[in-house]
Chains A and B, each alone.
Chain A
Amino acid sequence: MSEILTKSRARNVFYGGSLFFVVVFVAMTVHSHRYIVETSTAGMPLTDEVRLGKHVWERASCINCHTLHGEGAYFAPEVGNVMTRWGVLDDPEGAYEILNGWMQAQPSGVEGRRQMPFFDLTEEETRALAEFLRWADQTDTQNWPPNDAG
């Protein structure tokens, strides 16, 4: 083996092969980018309200307790399908009300129960957050999660 596989051959295989896989990966990424924009997330328009909701989501660092499409911290429930779980996926007003009610009740202060902080959001921001979560929920995630429990 040592005669066939010299150091310079190993090096050339490494450079050539890596370049090949980079090219394939970039091509697939370009396709995936278009697929996301045109197909999987096209079920609901990406409005300014949804954008604002995403900024609210980021500013509060929700991802460091919750998961969203299964990614994030594992300390609090999945929220990628929370609007389905609450039965308000197609009901913007209901989504806002139930989310607002939940947010206003935090922290619960119950002893021995994980605590969600109180976030001081305006009505506009809470509405935007609800729209963002509805928008995320309508994404085609290949039928993940397996059930409404998330």
Chain B
Amino acid sequence: MKYQSQKVAYAYFLVAMALFAIQVLGGLLAGWIYISPNTLSELLPFNVIRMLHTNALIVWLLLGFFGAAYYLVPEESERELFSAKLAYIQLAILVVGTLGAVVSYLVGIHGGREFLEQPLWVKFGILVAAVIFLVNISLTVLAGRKTAITNILLMGLWLLCLLWVFAFINPDNLSLDKMYWWFVVHLWVEATWELVMAAILGYLMLKMTGVDREVVEKWLYVIVATALFSGILGTGHHFFWIGTPGYWQWIGSIFSVFEVVPFFAMMSFAFVMVWKGRKNHPNKAALLWSLGASTVAFFGAGVWGFLHTLHGVNFYTHGTQITAAHGHLAFYGAYVALNLAMFTYAMPQLRGRAPYNQVLNMASFWLMTGGMCFMTFVLTFAGTIQTHMQRIVGDYYMDVQDQLGLFYMMRFGAGVAVVLGALLFIYSQLVVRRELIAPGPVTAPGE
């Protein structure tokens, strides 16, 4: 850690990990309700649990991005943050807003647009926090060295915050509501967040592989170009059946096929950089998470997205467990694993220790990734059966659900693995203080 103000990232990462724990525990509970539907049904209904699950996810990922920006921008810009104090104020606003939202949900006060259920005052709090963040980070970047990494990161974060404005726009016409809702939801995860992801991945590759900056930055521009060229009109794959014109079926299908490209490029980028790089960086766990994130993102967002994105397929699979399968693996690979890669890279430096607890951290990677993949597979099977029975044969929803119990049990098992992995990760970051396994002697290759 070269700059004192990078330390603010530590507070962001701590809050993010706490919310991560809440998110996966909420998910586990929701998964349990699929098996035992009477659980808490009057005290804490499924819809409230799901709100906590999805909202906690979104907020902790954003906190992770903010923390990552506060960590890497001083190094890239070669100067201290404009104001560490503002960064802490921003965090305080977000924590108060998050706690406020949780309490509101528990007492039944919430909005009704999916993922944007936060009460209005919390939405304003998020807006204020976003403005503080943008001011703080932009002034830092403008005063210091400009790199492609900070350029792309800033562009992603600025657009992300601007799109938040659509969280306040809720037309009475349901189809308009849905169309503008996707301006936040799709243009976050399939456009602006990809810019943030590419920038963070580029930074990690630069630090850990020792590949020349020119090469990394050129790759980055190519990747983000493919992300926005495909992702902006790729929004059309959400405009198939909500009352929007029929031409979106072709626009959405064609452009969302190309949405696979940036994820394939990010995966290739990560592997090529690691192969080309000559640096033997000691933080092997961070390298594992970086490569894992780009790979699982390619499968979750790219392959599983493509699976149901063509309108001829989506006509039958839309809104089934296929969507749930894709959503889980895509979010895990692209954004959860990437954030955990950044935590894994930065935490040893934020806590002033050599890379430690590699073994437990890497075990948590395999546990979480294995669990998430298994969950995706069983939900895909469940979704295939559901699509056939409900959309082709025409059986009623609940009759079909009754046939899927076995898959929901296996999904719960996979969820247990993910939760154990997440808790192990947090433990390895916060508690473990020394290497569990000492490294072996260094030998020349081929001996």
Using a CB–CB distance below 8 Å, which chain A residues touch chain B? 2, 5-7, 10-11, 13-14, 17-18, 21-22, 24-25, 28-29, 31-33, 35-37, 40-41, 46, 50-51, 54, 57-65, 67-78, 107, 111-115, 117, 132, 135-136, 139-142, 144-150
Contact = CB atoms under 8 A, between A and B. Distances in A.
List 8 A-B pairs, minimum CB-CB distance, nearest first: A58-B112, A70-B319, A64-B47, A144-B241, A115-B41, A10-B221, A77-B397, A14-B225
A74 B228 contact: no
Contacts of B47: 61-65, 73, 75, 117
Interface residues of B, number: 68
A139 B175 contact: yes
B229 interface: yes
Interface stretch (B74-82, B279-287, B320-328): B320-328
Contacts, number: 201
Contacts of A68: 174
B112 A59 contact: yes
Interface in B12-60: 33-34, 36-38, 41-42, 45-48, 50-51
A32 B37 contact: no
B233 A78 contact: no
Interface core residue of B51, B117, B221 (most chain A CB under 10 Å): B221
Interface of B: 33-34, 36-38, 41-42, 45-48, 50-51, 110-114, 117, 148, 172-179, 214, 217-218, 221-222, 224-225, 228-229, 232-233, 235, 239-246, 248-249, 251, 315-316, 318-321, 323-324, 390-392, 394-398, 401
Contacts of B51: 61, 64
B168 to A, nearest CB: 14
B321 A74 contact: yes
Contacts of A74: 319-321, 323-324
9 contacts: A7-B221, A10-B222, A32-B245, A41-B243, A61-B110, A63-B114, A115-B38, A115-B42, A117-B47
